[in-house]
Structure 1
Amino acid sequence: MGHHAHTDAAGASHGSTKQYVIGLIISIVLTIIPFWMVMQNVEQPGSFERGPLVWTIVVTAIAQVLVQLVFFLHLNSSSEQRWNLIAFVYTVLTIAILIIGSIWVMDYLHYFMMS
């Protein structure tokens, strides 16, 4: 089998060393970018405006999660991983509904308590 990804008897996918190294390098880059931006802001206040800094952190964090899922947990759309992907999407949607719903309810209550 060599360097190719393969599955074991339980259907779990295993990546090659090349996939792990690529994932590691991408993860390191996605960690260094926001870290460097924040440190630049600490050393030289006003280097980056707060809005773009926060968005950079959010975008790189989301990208980091996707890299971890694809390169290390091997979550993809293959037939072996289909149920894991469906469970992951369901979990993300449930958490999003919970968080968005909670914020909406708190905003609604805040609006009526202040009027």
Structure 2
Amino acid sequence: MSAATDHDEAHGSEHGHGSKKSYLVGFALSGILTFIPFWLVMAKPVGNPGLVAILIILFAVAQILVHTVCFLHVTTSGEGGWTLLAYAFTTVLLVITIAGSMWIMYHLNTNMMPGMMTGEVSTTP
């Protein structure tokens, strides 16, 4: 038996850790997915700030997927798919939390009292 097999059996794992290639690919992709948004902000090749924000969010999601696959080794076959299901559930909770927070902040901003936005103080009791 090899040392890796002994390690996997000792820890009750059917699958070994990632390969060196997996880690190197993940590292390279993480570097690229970090550099491109940095360049988009610093060099300003795109004139529309809204488009830049959307691109940064897309690169962030891509980086989350790279980290999940290359470093955390979450796949559909790992532990009968339960790990992937846990990630899907976490994603749904995050989307609900972020969307709800944005909705609440929008409505708080829209429904503020009339003098609050300009800094005026009301003199009525």
Do the aligned residues in 2 keep the contact of 1:27 with 1:67 (CA within 8 Å)? yes
- Structure 1: 5+ residue runs without aligned partners? 42-46
Q: In 1, distance between residues paired with 2:108 and 2:38?
A: 37
Per-residue deviation, residues 69-94 of structure 1 (Å, max 9, x unmatched): 00000011014261111111111111
Match of 2:69 in 1: 70
- Distance in 2 between residues matched to 1:15 and 1:32, nearest whole Å: 24
User: Larger RCO: Structure 1 or Structure 2 (Cα < 8 Å, ≥ 6 residues apart)?
Assistant: 1
Instruction: Determine what percentage of the aligned residue pairs are the same residue.
Output: 41
Per the TM alignment, residue 30 of structure 1 is displaced from its structure 2 partner at its CA by 0.7
**How many angstroms does 1:114 deviate by?**
6.0
The CA RMSD over aligned residues, in Å, is: 2.7
Q: 1:38 offset after TM fit, Å? A: 1.3
Please give the residue correspondences for 1:1-115 in structure 2 after superposition, counting only pairs within 5 Å: 8=8, 9-11=12-14, 13-41=16-44, 47-49=45-47, 50-80=49-79, 82-108=81-107, 110-111=109-110
Offset at residue 13 of structure 1 (A): 4.5
Normalized against structure 1, the TM-score is what?
Answer: 0.74
SS in 1 for 2:89: helix
> Runs ≥4 in structure 1, deviation > 2 angstroms?
10-13, 101-115
The runs of 5 or more residues in structure 2 that have no matched partner are 115-125
Separation (CA, whole Å) in 1 of partners of 2:22 and 2:111? 53
